[in-house]
Amino acid sequence: MAECHPVGFQWVMEAKARGAKVIHIDPRFTRTSAVADQHVPLRAGSDIAFLGGIINYILSNEKYFRDYVVSYTNAATLVSEDFQDVDELDGLFSGYDPETGTYDPSSWAYQGHDDGSDGQTGRPTAPTSTGDDQSGQDSGSEPEGSAGGATIDDVGGEESADSEKDRGAGHELGGRGANLAHSKVARDETLQHPQTVFQVLKRHYARYTPEVVEQICGVPPEQFLQVCEDVTSNSGRDRTTAWVYSVGWTHHSTGVQYIRGSAIIQLLLGNMGRPGGGIMALRGHASIQGSTDIPTLFNILPGYLPVPSAGKHDTYADYIATIAKPGMKGFWTKADAYTASLLKAWWGDAATPENDFCFDYLPKLTGDHGTYQTVFDMVDGKIDGYFLLGQNPAVGSAHGKLQRLGLAKLKWLVVRDLQMIESATFWKDGPEIESGELKTEEIGTEVFFFPAATHTEKEGTFTQTQRMLQWRYKAVEPPGDARSELHFYYHLGRLLRERYAGSTDPKDRPLLDLTWDYPTHGETQDPDGDAILREVNGYYLTGEKAGQFLPGFVEMKADGSTSGGCWIYCGVYKDGVNQAARKKPGRDQNFVAPEWGWAWPMNRRTLYNRASADPEGRPWSEKKAYVWWDEEAQQWTGHDVPDFQLTKPPSYRPEEGASGPDGIAGDDPFIMQADGKGWLYAPTGLLDGPLPAHYEPAESPVDNPLYTQQGNPTRQVFKRKDNLQNPSKDEPGGDVFPYVFTTYRLTEHHTAGGMSRWLPYLSELQPEMFCEVSPELARERGLEHFGYATIVTARTAIEARVLVTDRVVPLKVGGTVIHQIGLPYHWGVGDDAVVSGDSANDLLGLSLDPNVHIQESKVASCDIQPGRRPTGEALLRYVEDYRSRAGITVETGNLRMTAPSDDRLEGAQQ
Amino acid sequence: MTNSFYGPLADPAGDAGWVDGDHQPRKGFFTDTSVCIGCKACEVACKEWNAVPDDGMNWLGSSYDNSGALGASTWRHVKFIEQPKPLGAQQAGMEGTAAGVSVTDVLNRAADSALAGDRSTLGSTNRVDLGMPTTTLPGQVDGAQRTEFRWLMESDVCKHCTHAACLDVCPTGSLFRTEFGTVVVQDDICNGCGYCVPACPFGVIDRRVGEKGVTKNEGIAQKCTLCYDRIGDGLQPACATACPTQSIQYGDVDELRERAQKRVDALHAAGVHDARLYGENGHDGVGGLGAFFLLLDEPEVYGLPPDPVVTTRDLPEMWRKAALAAVAMLAGAVAVFGAGERR
């Protein structure tokens, strides 16, 4: 965090000065480790084993926050008897289809009753007390349906009809979370029933002992147990622990499950929805949070509504029904209001209830259009044009060569950036020109370069990781032809609309009907950012309040009487005031500082903060009081805006069949979940399993000691000649790439260098590509400090200066010593920057997390040799030689399932 | 006593002749290295504000330090010190791993000599004899393991000495004592004679190397001004403004010294026993520093002189002796020639 987010790290230093203990778990010893109380080096790609070890420690030592766990999580919920865990199936969950590499998650579901009539026979819906009436139950009692130790909770929702179709397409879920398969779930609040999530969790993680953690992560038990002690003793009624990760955690073929691992820990310890708790995701750039809220992603619409899919969502009713099922609980049931308001904001008067608010105008998904699939499509000549805005994929994206080969196949390319980045100049000075793979005169890509305005040269909001929008004003005019993104897109849209004006072709209606009437100002006709924010907030369109700003998303209507460009941002212009521009100093308000900027939703600074009070609505402790039920006023109150229906008392229990927000009980804090509970176990919604299990990275010199299944069996692979993978440990040729490398950032540079390698003041601070190696590896391979090294994978070889340092530590993993090589990824090959160099991302191949299509770029295998790499054609021969020595084919590392054994398959398919 | 060269001096600005309305409380830096995260924002902010040119694109292989040293084009310099020693109760995470013997001392020495121009020892992880009485070379011992490690960072800067030799030796008056008690070079007056360069006991000030007519202030002596053009307007120096962790604190020196003492006490209480202040004592060889430091070990660890002495300390004595010699010579001449005349 100190390394990549030094400004935010000031608050960690402040916390440390006030007595907080800072633990840093990272393969390398960074500037964060330098000031942390404890640094724990672990093998890159082994984090789930580490997190699983903590979960096992918590469960086997009874360190969990029992009252919180029972009431606020799904620990007591019963899982289907059909569910089979990875231990039974040697690394696969039940439902695996080896043909498609996907799961049918139906066996992961909660136990319960599929239809209302059966539900009637169960116990009536809650109120369930906190389990007192069942505390005397035998732990081993077998339930029959709803009998035995289980109560039945109404969680709403019909049969999850789309679960089958959702397989292999996590991008179609949007951000709405997952529906539940059953309208009722069975619970045992004694947590004793063997099918409770709690017991499933316990069994699942029983194997993640400190010894196994050492065997997989290379972390000695003493170090590991120290972390366990510190984290658990600092959690509970009086204390909370926060987890902070940076996006490197997501850059794995099991990235989503990494985050799930820390979520399970935080739920078990009662650290969610409470002050000082939570999981902080540090994003890679300013306002990356904002660019998922109002997305630049192919699969979500503003506010995490999914992009409709062709064939599945051909009508508005179909689309809405997928997000908000009849009878479902929680706030997603209002998706029709959010969607109608969004479409009204986009298409104004043209959007009417009669034409489904122009739902037909929305483009529909026909499959994965994520960045890496798109690059392969570019290589295959399926893509004509490409826009790059503040992105330098020729350097910053995994498998740089593939990126550049793809760019070279385009007809046109628009690059909007501060500098003439490598992605704009690859056609004349890229590595493939030097190697002879590309010839400038044969590249047909027409590159349009537009200089961009920097953040000081334009107005708008940044949304940071706390979901807080902060307005910034333009300080200076951009120089020369540099313009804001707003300017570019507004005027592009304006010109296109002029071009199509008068068209009677129905396909042009979406463009011509757009509300595209933003005021502009200044010489450059820059659109008014404030006007955009007002549109995002939304208005009442009819009635006596017509024209007024909506105060919040609960006012949004499904009948077209409201508009709003992003439902979660509704309220940012409440009362006609730009709430994001508020800058009241912290000293003039309470510690939550609600009047600094504005956080979605509804200016809540901590999500699910109902969990900061006990089930009866009282603070868990005075020290950690945050939001509580005011008995006298009969409403929720506290330091933050309560994340709960304001007047819903803790004792509220939904009526039979209640749905939507009213279906959530007064003691269910996780109001966006269909059962109101924090999910220790995800019965649906994830493509690679309901619980995180340790899999080795796609390329690994280590065998998975837990299961025969080596890597994530559902990871997205691309079996192609231009995406060869290194063999892992047990495969033939696995010893050719014996080392692990990880890529990362340095404080001195920013990602692919567009904002730093062109600046002398930053370039001089880290002027050259280097690799960090341990003295032990230096000795093993004869690497000389200050000399050069060549690092090679199945993709290519790069060179780097050698920095030998004690900060890199070899780890004992399963009896062998594993060496890790650290590679900053800031440099790229080109002529325009102040400093250039080989790009670490060129070493990477593509294996993706199945849920989110994120690449595994934080760990892969390689070889390292002293000296500079060959150049020109010799480089290609050098890499080819490695490939043939390792016997690499397109199958190598690109098969999801390890050593298919009939037994495992049969079991998995049951 | 005015214009003193040595010893405690409460008010350098007053001593330099600033009076009444012009005279300001002494300003300085307290650089607390215990919270430095090595982000180098100070280096960049300093260059931005003061329009200091870049100092060359040189990868030094010296931990994360590629600035090397303070100089005419590096007025703030963040040092990175890797050492096989513990830092208070910090657990570096090396114990129990497969790590062998530390090489940082070898590498530090290689980096030091490289900075001095000798790069022969850089590829030294394989074989370098330190000349120490050991039987094996560092990094070559089997079975031995490194267990402790620390990575110290320190943002170094001109010390704005109470007794500033650079100023004392400056023949043009380019270097002067400001009303804030700081020491500033006036680049339009400096003639580039370079007397100040060897005069500085810390090796801070230097003449800018570059191309005549191209490089700004080529040949002119340059160093930190404590942002004379900011503090006069009530702003903080650029580096202190940019520092995210308050490692660099700017203010009245008296107040900073109190604050620093409290911080040292807190660190001692927390078990960081080697924490100490450097340059806060007016009785040292330079009369105390306007920019002083909290260090986590001996000054030598940070490349700072343990007992800096103002190089002009003996100047009065030398002049006195020179005067005596002159008088004696004069007397002798008078005795010889005067007597002869009488003859």
- How many Å separate Cα A562 from the centre of its chain? 31
Asked if the Cβ–Cβ distance from A35 to B37 is below 8 Å, we say yes
Say if residue A247's pLDDT is above 80: yes
Beta strand A38-40 pairing with A23-25: parallel
Confidence of residue B114 (pLDDT cuts 50, 70, 90): low
User: Is residue B39 marked as binding?
Assistant: yes
Quote the pLDDT of residue A42.
Answer: 96
Quote the pLDDT of residue A332.
Answer: 82
Tell me the count of A-B CB pairs closer than 8 A.
188
> Residue A207: CB partners within 8 Å, gap ≥ 6?
A56, A87, A706
User: Is residue B189 marked as binding?
Assistant: no
Say if residue A154's pLDDT is above 50: no
Alpha helices (H) along A138-233:
163-166, 197-205, 210-217, 221-233
Least confident of A252-261, A660-669, A841-850, B94-103: B94-103
Q: Which residues of A touch B123 (CB under 8 A)?
A: 784-787
The complex's ipTM works out to 0.89
Alpha helices (H) along A309-417:
316-323, 335-347, 371-379, 393-396, 400-407
Q: Which residue of A has its CA nearest to B39?
A: A747
Q: Can you point out the beta strands (E) in A805-880?
A: 811-813, 816-818, 820-824, 847-848, 860-866
Confidence of residue A673 (pLDDT cuts 50, 70, 90): confident
Helix (H) or strand (E) holding A744: strand A739-744
User: Is residue B292 marked as binding?
Assistant: no
Confidence of residue B340 (pLDDT cuts 50, 70, 90): low
**Residue of B43, B57, B123 lying closest to A834 (CB–CB):** B57
Asked if the Cβ–Cβ distance from A766 to B66 is below 8 Å, we say yes
Say if residue A867's pLDDT is above 60: yes
B53-68 residue pLDDT tens: 999 999 999 999 999 9
Residue in A30, A786, A864 to test binding to B, most B beta-carbons within 10 Å: A786
Phi, psi of A60 (to 5 degrees): -80, -20
Quote the pLDDT of residue B103.
Answer: 78
Concatenating the DSSP letter of every residue in B232-292 gives: TTTPPPHHHHH-TTS-EEEEEHHHHHHHHHHHHHHHHHTT-TT-EEES--TTSTTS-BSEE
Within 209-228 of B, beta carbons closer than 8 Å to A belong to none
User: Is residue B337 marked as binding?
Assistant: no
A822-838 residue pLDDT tens: 999 999 999 999 999 99
Q: State the nearest Cα–Cα gap between B143 and chain A, in angstroms.
A: 12
Least confident of A355-364, A639-648, B5-14: B5-14
What mean pLDDT is predicted for residues A26-31?
96
Say how far apart CA A24 and CA A34 lie, in whole Å: 9
Residue A126 and residue A159 in contact, taking contact as beta carbons nearer than 8 Å:
no
Count the neighbouring beta carbons within 10 Å of the beta carbon of residue A431. Answer: 24
What mean pLDDT is predicted for residues B8-20?
91
Among residues A199, A192, A187, the alpha carbon closest in space to that of A59 is found at A199
Within 142-181 of B, beta carbons closer than 8 Å to A belong to 146, 149-153
**Residue of B124, B149, B153 lying closest to A806 (CB–CB):** B149
User: Is residue B13 marked as binding?
Assistant: no
- How far CA A434 is from CA of A426, A428, A753, A876, in Å, comes to 11, 9, 21, 11
Amino acid letter, A408: A
A541-571 residue pLDDT tens: 999 999 999 999 999 999 999 999 999 999 9
What mean pLDDT is predicted for residues A600-619?
97
- SS3 state at A824: strand
Confidence of residue B46 (pLDDT cuts 50, 70, 90): very high
Asked if the Cβ–Cβ distance from B125 to A785 is below 8 Å, we say yes
Confidence of residue A126 (pLDDT cuts 50, 70, 90): very low
A889 dihedral zone (left: phi>0; alpha: psi -120 to 50; beta):
beta
Q: Does CATH place domain A716-886 in 2.40.40.20?
A: yes
Q: Which residues of B touch A746 (CB under 8 A)?
A: 64
User: Is residue B178 marked as binding?
Assistant: no
A483-497 residue pLDDT tens: 999 999 999 999 999
Say if residue A752's pLDDT is above 70: yes
Within 160-219 of A, beta carbons closer than 8 Å to B belong to 218
Say how far apart CA B206 and CA B67 lie, in whole Å: 14
Say how far apart CA A222 and CA A231 lie, in whole Å: 14
Q: State the nearest Cα–Cα gap between A470 and chain B, in angstroms.
A: 19
A416-450 residue pLDDT tens: 999 999 999 999 999 999 999 999 999 999 999 99
Q: What is the DSSP letter of A481?
A: T
Say how far apart CA B281 and CA B296 lie, in whole Å: 17
Say how far apart CA B295 and CA B191 lie, in whole Å: 36
A782-792 residue pLDDT tens: 999 999 999 99
**B46 and chain A in contact, CB less than 8 A:** no
Say how far apart CA B164 and CA B322 lie, in whole Å: 22
A878-899 residue pLDDT tens: 999 999 999 999 999 998 888 6
Domain ranges of chain A: 41-283+605-700, 716-886
> Residue A18: CB partners within 8 Å, gap ≥ 6?
none
Say if residue B3's pLDDT is above 60: no
User: Is residue B307 marked as binding?
Assistant: no
Say if residue A601's pLDDT is above 50: yes
Asked if the Cβ–Cβ distance from B37 to A31 is below 8 Å, we say yes
Asked if the Cβ–Cβ distance from B139 to A779 is below 8 Å, we say yes
A201-234 residue pLDDT tens: 999 999 999 999 999 999 999 999 999 999 999 9
Quote the pLDDT of residue A906.
Answer: 53
Count the neighbouring beta carbons within 10 Å of the beta carbon of residue B22. Answer: 10
Q: Which two tokens stand for residue A99?
A: 């043909």
User: Is residue B21 marked as binding?
Assistant: no
What mean pLDDT is predicted for residues A314-335?
85
Q: Which residues of B touch A770 (CB under 8 A)?
A: 59, 61
**B92 and chain A in contact, CB less than 8 A:** yes
Residue A96, CA atoms < 13 Å, CB-side half-sphere: 31
**Residue of A13, A223, A801 lying closest to B35 (CB–CB):** A13
Say if residue B1's pLDDT is above 50: no
Q: Which residue of A has its CA nearest to B62?
A: A803
Least confident of A611-625, A847-861, B112-126: B112-126
Asked if the Cβ–Cβ distance from B94 to A806 is below 8 Å, we say yes
Residue A748 and residue A832 in contact, taking contact as beta carbons nearer than 8 Å:
no
Say if residue A164's pLDDT is above 60: no
Q: Does CATH place domain A41-283+605-700 in 3.40.190.10?
A: no
**B257 and chain A in contact, CB less than 8 A:** no
Alpha helices (H) along A753-838:
760-763, 775-781
**A21 and chain B in contact, CB less than 8 A:** no
Asked if the Cβ–Cβ distance from A223 to B92 is below 8 Å, we say no
Residue A322 and residue A315 in contact, taking contact as beta carbons nearer than 8 Å:
no
Quote the pLDDT of residue B102.
Answer: 78
Say if residue A147's pLDDT is above 50: no
Residue in B32, B36, B39 to test binding to A, most A beta-carbons within 10 Å: B39
Among residues B76, B59, B44, B117, the alpha carbon closest in space to that of B222 is found at B76
**Residue of B57, B59, B92 lying closest to A770 (CB–CB):** B59
Q: What is the DSSP letter of A365?
A: B
Asked if the Cβ–Cβ distance from B126 to A33 is below 8 Å, we say no
Q: Which residues of B touch A835 (CB under 8 A)?
A: 57
Asked if the Cβ–Cβ distance from B66 to A764 is below 8 Å, we say yes
What mean pLDDT is predicted for residues B145-157?
92
**A807 and chain B in contact, CB less than 8 A:** yes
Concatenating the DSSP letter of every residue in A684-735 gives: SS-SS-SS----B-SS-SS--SS-S--B-TT-EE--SGGG-----TTSTTGG
B196-254 residue pLDDT tens: 999 999 999 999 999 999 999 999 999 999 999 999 999 999 999 999 999 999 999 99
A359-415 residue pLDDT tens: 999 999 998 899 999 999 999 999 999 999 989 999 999 999 999 999 999 999 999
Q: According to the per-residue pLDDT averaged within each range, which of A146-155, A362-371, A596-605 is highest? A: A596-605
Quote the pLDDT of residue A166.
Answer: 42
Quote the pLDDT of residue A662.
Answer: 87
The size of chain A, in residues, is 910
What mean pLDDT is predicted for residues A282-294?
90
Average confidence score pLDDT of chain A: 90
Q: Which residues of A touch B98 (CB under 8 A)?
A: 218, 776, 809-812, 817
Burial class of B326 by CB neighbour count within 10 A (0 to 12, 13 to 18, 19+): exposed
Say how far apart CA A910 and CA A84 lie, in whole Å: 9
Say how far apart CA A678 and CA A268 lie, in whole Å: 10
User: Is residue B7 marked as binding?
Assistant: no
Quote the pLDDT of residue A515.
Answer: 95
Count the neighbouring beta carbons within 10 Å of the beta carbon of residue A371. Answer: 18
Q: Which residues of A touch B89 (CB under 8 A)?
A: 37
User: Is residue B200 marked as binding?
Assistant: yes
**A770 and chain B in contact, CB less than 8 A:** yes
Say how far apart CA B26 and CA B254 lie, in whole Å: 8
Asked if the Cβ–Cβ distance from A10 to B56 is below 8 Å, we say no
Position with higher pLDDT, A155 vs B196:
B196
